Amino acid sequence: MKLPQTVKIVEVGPRDGFQSINKWIPTDLKIEIISGLISANLNRLEVTSFVHPKAIPQMQDAAEVVHRVIDGYKGMELIALVPNYTGAKAAWEAGIKEVTYVISASEKHNIENVRRTKTESFADLRNIKELLPELTIKLDIATAFGCPFLGQVPVEQVLQMMEDSLKLGIDEVCLCDTIGIANPLQTESLLVKVITGYPGAKLSLHFHDTRGMGLANTLVALECGITTFESAIGGLGGCPFAPGAAGNIATEDMVNMLEQMGIDTGIDLPVLLQTAKTVKAKIVQELSGHLVSMC
C-alpha cells in the first residue's frame, strides 16, 4: 500500500456536529469541548457557522464562540462555515481568516440547503472573493458522491465545479459525501479523475458514515494521495437539509486507524477520547463513534 507518512485532520464537530443538535448547547459547554479538542493537539477547527439564527438556532452565538477561542488560544487555524456574503463579512469582522463556503453538486440539494441555484451560489462566491480578498476560502462541494433527492450525481458536474472554483482562485476544495453513500470503488474513480484533471489543486475530503464505509473510503483516498480529512468528535453530525444523513467519521476512530497504521496525525488520542466522553456525558448520550461507545 502506498500511504502518506502524515495526515492533517480538520475537526468539524463544533460546527457540523453541533448544528444537527436541536437542544441548545450553552456557549460555555461549546468552549469546553473546543478547549478539549485543542488540548488533544487539533489545531485546525471548524468552530461555528455564521448563518441566520432562524435557519440554524444552534449557531446564534457564533461571534461569541469565535471571540472566546481567539482570546484564549493563539495560533489556531479557525474556520467558520458561511452560506453567503453576509455570513462571510460577519465571520471576517469576528476575526475569522478562513471560511467554508458550500455549493452542492446537486441543484436540488443546493436549493434545499441554501435556497439558491448553483449559478446564484457561484455569483455570491465571486462577490465574497472580490469584496473580501484577504479571506481564505475553502469550497465544500456537497453531495459530490450522491444526492438525497436525486440519487447519483454525474461526475461531470463535480469536475465542472472544480473548474469554476479554481478559475475564481478558491484556495481549497473539499469533496463531501454529504449523506454517507460513497463506496471505495466510487471514491477511487472520482479522485483519479479530479487529481488527473486538476493536479495542482489543494484537495480535502469529508466523509459521513451512514453506511459504515467512511474509514474504508478514507483508506482509498490515502492511497490516492489525499492527506487532509475532515471528521467530528464522537461521530457527531448530519446535514439538516439531507434527510437520513448520519454523522461524520468519528475523529477518534480516524486517529486510531491512522496511528495504528503508522501514519502520524500529531493528535493525542487519550486526550481526544476524554473529550469524546465529555460530549457523550453532556451533549449526546448515543454517539456513532466506535471507540467512545466502548467507554
Nearest by Cα to 204 from 213, 185, 191: 191
Q: What confidence tier does 246 reach under pLDDT thresholds 50, 70, 90? A: low
pLDDT of residue 208: 93
Question: Distance (Å, rounded) from C-alpha 196 to C-alpha 203?
Answer: 12
What one-character DSSP code corresponds to residue 41? T
- Average pLDDT of the chain to the nearest whole number: 94
The total number of structural domains that make up the chain: 1
Share of the chain above pLDDT 90, in %: 87
Please report whether residue 51 resides in a domain.
yes
Please report whether residue 286 resides in a domain.
yes
What is this structure's pTM?
0.95
Here the CATH number for the domain that contains residue 78 is: 3.20.20.70
Nearest by Cα to 280 from 21, 68, 41: 21
Please give the average per-residue pLDDT across 34-51, as a whole number: 97
Helical segments of 40-183, H only: 62-72, 85-94, 107-114, 118-131, 155-167
Q: What is the pLDDT of residues 254-263, one digit of tens each?
A: 999 999 999 9
Question: Distance (Å, rounded) from C-alpha 273 to C-alpha 279?
Answer: 10
Residue 239 pLDDT > 70, yes or no?
A: no
Please report whether residue 215 resides in a domain.
yes
Please report whether residue 1 resides in a domain.
no
Q: What is the pLDDT of residues 60-70, one digit of tens each?
A: 999 999 999 99
Residue 231 pLDDT > 80, yes or no?
A: yes
Please give the average per-residue pLDDT across 227-242, as a whole number: 84
Please report whether residue 79 resides in a domain.
yes
Please report whether residue 214 resides in a domain.
yes
pLDDT of residue 237: 86
Say which amino acid occupies 57.
P
Question: Distance (Å, rounded) from C-alpha 165 to C-alpha 275?
Answer: 36
Please report whether residue 2 resides in a domain.
no
Residue 119 or 150, more confident: 119
Residue 243 pLDDT > 70, yes or no?
A: no
Residue 240 pLDDT > 70, yes or no?
A: no
Nearest by Cα to 30 from 6, 62, 8: 62
Residue 244 pLDDT > 90, yes or no?
A: no
pLDDT of residue 247: 83
State which residues form the domain around 36.
8-293
**Which residues are designated catalytic?**
239
Please give the average per-residue pLDDT across 52-66, as a whole number: 96
Please give the average per-residue pLDDT across 227-247, as a whole number: 79
